[in-house]
Amino acid sequence: MLLMLAVPQLFADGFIIIPEPPFPRPHPHPGWRDPFPLEVKYHDVKVTIDGLTAKTKIDQVFFNPLNHQLEGQYIFPIPEGAVITGFKMYVNGKEYKAELLDAEKAKKLYQDIVAKSKDPALLEYTGRNIYTVKIFPIEPRSERKIEIEYFQTLEFDAGTIKYLYPLNTEKFSSKALEKVSVSTTIKSKNKILSIYSPTHETKSERVDDNNFTANYEEKNVKPDKDYLLVVATRLKGSVIDLMSYKTGDNENYFLLNFSVDDAEFPGEYIPKDVVFILDISGSMAGEKLKAAQDALVYCVNRLKDQDNFQIIKFGTEAEKFYKSMKKADKSSKKDAEEKIKNLEALGGTNIEEALNLAINEKSEPTRPFFVVFITDGKPTIGERDEAKLVEKLDPKLISGKRIFTFGIGYDINIHLLDKIAVKTGGVRNYSPPTNEIEVNISHLFEKIEFPVLTDVTVTSSGGIELAKLYPNTKIDLFKGGMLTLAGKLNDAKSGKITITGKRNGKELKFEKLVEIESESQYAFIPVIWSMRRVGHLLDIIRLNGESKEVIDEIVYLAKKYGLITPYTAYLILEDEQLTGNQRPPLAPDLKSASDNFSTMPQGAFKSEFDEMNSKEGKGSSTASETIRDYAGADQLNHRDVEKRNIDKNIDPSAQSLNLKDAGGRAFYQNDGLWIDSYLETNTSSNVKKIEFNSDEYFKLAFSDKKIAEILSLGRNVRFEYGKNIYEVIN
């Protein structure tokens, strides 16, 4: 029986097949097998993108932890269009040569492995060319280092370059990697506008207009999805890029990225009006006020001569520094700095009066108007009811004015600050009562310091129809930022995307003709859209109260795409008709949901959402930020963090949270059976059963890449595809 011995990540790094069990004859009982004895010490990937050419260098080390010598076959499925230019593996001084198998021969090899080892994991890689080499010996307790280098030509679409690195071999891992890293250097003759990864948390740094670096690194992790890097360059100005994915139930989802090239507006500065509101009530005394003062001085000094500003202090009463907005010239900034440094903390918290002064401040209609509202407390004077306070924000007065709320500490009304930000199109921010206050306020202001476009809207024509767009609030773009919009599409094949925005009082328009193509590497898009939709719905509940209709939709989306919410633990999926087991009732929070599973430890489902309905305290602040991240999710990392937080709390001996993605949807494991989340809404009792490893099984597997990916989950899978329900039985 063939045993799969594999690398826990980077399928581009390959994996090893062992043709015989590492035990002397007679072999143990045929039911035994340990498919993943090899470990990987580390994986380092270095990528160089120069124009449209990408060079990838991979360095990996295998470790045989057994006390037995192994003989294996190294298999390396290469990315589409790639050419191997270097392959090095040395055993006892001998260099091993690789052989290229085309896609048809590779498919036959994969089928043989699946048939003999009864492990379907390789089915995901059908349709790809592979390099293969035989390895002998792999000594007990020894390492084998493999180095691979390949080149590929990247596609270029109206200024956008996409680099895909296959990272999805999590299924082959017996142990988390000590480290995985992908380091990329990007060089372009065109100006690089931005770099973005929707799949992994990537840190990027601009060297100059034509050079960037991007780095992804994690430790003690099992990567389970491919790494995608999107590079927006200047071809003829700003860049609109549309990626789409069509799911098995024929729903079309898209992710739109829009970058503005500031070079289109040489020498043009957008002057702005800024009102700073600072809480100087008694609770701010000491280090909090000192940090806020230092941050405020920093922000004022960052203003340009063309900007106008006002400062409002509030305690028992609210008071403006100046009768009207001041020009941010050298003299005014020096005067403001002296006034700020002389502030003392005293009195109550009159939020109503402070907001009234700010929104009644006269401004020029063609200029962006921002309010930075800093407080550490709840209203104690004037209107105290949060609903009435928000209602008093006159729509006519706040039109075009964004209020960015900044809460310090945990003795604040989180819901109030969130509602103010949401109503005006601003962003909510929070800081613990530590020395981080100054840094966090400064970072907030740096984000809004240079507006590029305000009141941005996205429309479509020429047959394309966009629906359920997120974010669905007022959108402003700032220098170096990117608009990332997720939504649904109709079945049109092509059309036009139009983006409009205001700049210095003028309306600007950006257009692009797009072709709609569903690419398999974009299977993450439905998950990102669902995170944003669920975040939007959770905010509605958190700020306005629960309703059955909204909760039902959250439950539906959370189970369909494997999200953590206060209303679902993703173990709770299967209907009685699917499993024969009665489903536990949905719980109002994850902790009580876990009580329904005797094998789950108490608190296994504890998450940042637990104190969602609390209006104050650390838990409320954390819940607000978590929901904000969901509502603005631009990468899968937001969901991954939630999954890992839960996994940390689970006893290794207890039942695990078995969730995997395949074909753009979530699958859940129940008693060894992988169940498609789409079946939750399918009431059909007509299930076509197919025997694992049969001719019919392989015919189905090789009929469609999405089906092959689904079948690679395991030997027992029930799923919906097209109008059919299939169940693979072993």
Sign of the alpha-carbon dihedral angle for 12, 45, 634, 555: positive
Counting Cβ atoms within 10 Å, is residue 265 exposed (0-12), middle (13-18) or buried (19+)? Answer: middle
Region of poorest pLDDT, from 98-107, 194-203, 242-251, 500-509? 98-107
pLDDT value at residue 601: 37
Alpha helices in 63-102 (DSSP H): none
Average pLDDT over residues 660-673: 82
8 Å CB contact between 477 and 453: yes
pLDDT at residue 349 above 90?
yes
Joined together, the tokens standing for residue 169 give 């071999």
Average pLDDT over residues 309-333: 95
pLDDT value at residue 644: 54
Cα 592 from chain centroid? 27
8 Å CB contact between 536 and 633: no
pTM value is 0.73
pLDDT value at residue 321: 96
Model pLDDT for residues 32-70, shown as the tens digit of each residue: 344 456 776 778 899 999 988 899 998 877 777 788 777
pLDDT at residue 663 above 90?
no
pLDDT at residue 295 above 70?
yes
pLDDT at residue 647 above 70?
no
One DSSP character per residue, 336-387 reads HHHHHHT----S---HHHHHHHHHTS---TTS-EEEEEEESS---SS---HH
What are residue 162's phi and psi, to 5 degrees? -125, 130
pLDDT at residue 25 above 50?
no
pLDDT value at residue 235: 65
Joined together, the tokens standing for residue 512 give 């692009």
Name the residue with higher pLDDT: 153 or 656: 153
pLDDT value at residue 539: 87
8 Å CB contact between 67 and 37: no
pLDDT value at residue 337: 95
Task: Tell me which amino acid residue 255 is.
Answer: L
pLDDT at residue 77 above 60?
yes
- Tell me how many degrees the CA angle 414-416-418 measures, rounded to the nearest 5: 70
- Percent of the chain at pLDDT above 70? 81
**Paired strand residues for 183:** 46, 215
pLDDT at residue 100 above 80?
no
pLDDT value at residue 570: 42
Task: Quickly state the pLDDT bin for 373 (edges 50, 70, 90).
Answer: very high
pLDDT value at residue 183: 95
pLDDT value at residue 595: 34
The C-alpha atoms of residue 644 and residue 637 are separated, in whole angstroms, by 10
Task: Quickly state the pLDDT bin for 591 (edges 50, 70, 90).
Answer: very low
Model pLDDT for residues 680-702, shown as the tens digit of each residue: 777 677 889 999 989 999 899 88
The C-alpha atoms of residue 460 and residue 511 are separated, in whole angstroms, by 9
**Paired strand residues for 498:** 459, 511
3-state secondary structure of 612: coil
Joined together, the tokens standing for residue 375 give 């407080």
Give the dihedral of Cα atoms 169, 172, 178, 184; nearest 10 deg: -10
pLDDT value at residue 588: 33
pLDDT at residue 348 above 80?
yes
The number of beta carbons lying within 10 Å of the beta carbon of residue 143 is 13
Cis bond upstream, residue 652 (ω within 30): no
How far does the chain reach from its first CA to its final CA, in angstroms?
17
Region of poorest pLDDT, from 173-182, 278-287, 399-408? 173-182
The C-alpha atoms of residue 232 and residue 633 are separated, in whole angstroms, by 19
Model pLDDT for residues 532-585, shown as the tens digit of each residue: 999 889 888 888 888 889 988 988 888 888 787 777 754 433 333 343 433 333
Average pLDDT over residues 335-355: 94
CA nearest neighbour of 231 among 167, 154, 168: 154
pLDDT at residue 726 above 70?
yes
Element (H, E) at 303: none
The C-alpha atoms of residue 451 and residue 269 are separated, in whole angstroms, by 9
8 Å CB contact between 709 and 703: no
pLDDT value at residue 21: 53
Rounded to whole angstroms, what are the CA distances from 267 to 262, 264, 270, 327?
9, 9, 10, 20
pLDDT at residue 315 above 90?
yes
Average pLDDT over residues 234-261: 82
Rounded to whole angstroms, what are the CA distances from 530 to 134, 339, 451, 564?
44, 48, 29, 11
pLDDT value at residue 606: 45
pLDDT value at residue 440: 84
pLDDT at residue 180 above 50?
yes
**Paired strand residues for 232:** 160, 194
pLDDT value at residue 111: 79
Domains and CATH numbers, the chain: 3-233 (2.60.40), 239-267+452-519 (2.60.40), 273-449 (3.40.50.410), 526-656 (no CATH)
pLDDT value at residue 298: 92
Rounded to whole angstroms, what are the CA distances from 8 to 85, 120, 127, 188, 726?
24, 16, 21, 33, 29
Joined together, the tokens standing for residue 32 give 């035994």
Write down the residue that tokens 């000094």 correspond to: 301
Region of poorest pLDDT, from 10-19, 75-84, 112-121, 331-340? 10-19
Task: Quickly state the pLDDT bin for 239 (edges 50, 70, 90).
Answer: confident
The C-alpha atoms of residue 286 and residue 288 are separated, in whole angstroms, by 6
- Percent of the chain at pLDDT above 90? 23
Q: What is the mean pLDDT of the chain?
A: 79
Residues 6+ apart with CB under 8 A from 337: 297, 300, 301
pLDDT value at residue 679: 83
DSSP state of 568: B
Residues 6+ apart with CB under 8 A from 283: 345, 349, 376, 377, 411
8 Å CB contact between 472 and 533: no
Name the residue with higher pLDDT: 137 or 316: 316
Average pLDDT over residues 628-645: 67
